[in-house]
Amino acid sequence: MGVCIEVLIVDWERLGTVPADKQSGLLRDAFDDDDPTWGPPFPARWVRPREEAADWCLGYEFHGTLGSYKPHFWAGERWEDVRDHAAPGLRTTLDHYLSALFWGGLPFMDGGDGEEEPEPECPWNVRTLMWSAPEEVPGLKRLWDRAAPELDTLREPFAKHAASPGSWIADFDEFAMLLRNWGEVMTEADRRGWGVLGLYC
């Protein structure tokens, strides 16, 4: 399957009380791999951790991704294909929203020189594909709240410029579903005042 991502919303203060060399293990042990609530992968849903972690951590399974990072990567690629055909306001909003969600940022957010921005350093001793601190989450939720009502305006340009039948994120519906799933993650993290971790696995 290649690179996988495990998306968690986490009480930042609670994780900060854990010694650095224990943080990764604590997050990995928060969920029971043998727990049948982890599968099958449809539809998208929240996954509760073990009882001892229930008050500081919550997992999220994205619709149809099987835990793979590839759909997230390809959603970024599809956005690059369609963004020039989006309304200016929506383009700006989704540029900033998606840049925070995908590994290393997106190349058009770097000022236009074609070089990727360096990946910011996560404050925790864990290997991540993305992360957002609690103070960043409300802004991301506001971006999603602005983009969501206009998302369907991308359906026609997506079909013309970005559709890729037989691939990850093959059509607009798959693209929109992934973005809506991320919207659920940011909405719940904002409600709790927690941060978001996309663990590399």
Choice among 21-30, 86-95, 139-148 with the minimum mean pLDDT: 21-30
Axis crossing angle, helix 88-101 with helix 137-147, rounded to the nearest 10: 140
What DSSP string describes 62-106? PTT-TTBSHHHHHHHHHHHHHGGGS-HHHHHHHHHHHHHHSTT--
Q: pLDDT over 70 for what percent of the chain?
A: 84
pLDDT tens digits along 104-126: 555 554 544 445 555 667 899 99
Residue with more model confidence, 143 or 32: 143
pLDDT on residue 131: 93
Choice among 15-19, 113-117, 159-163 with the minimum mean pLDDT: 113-117
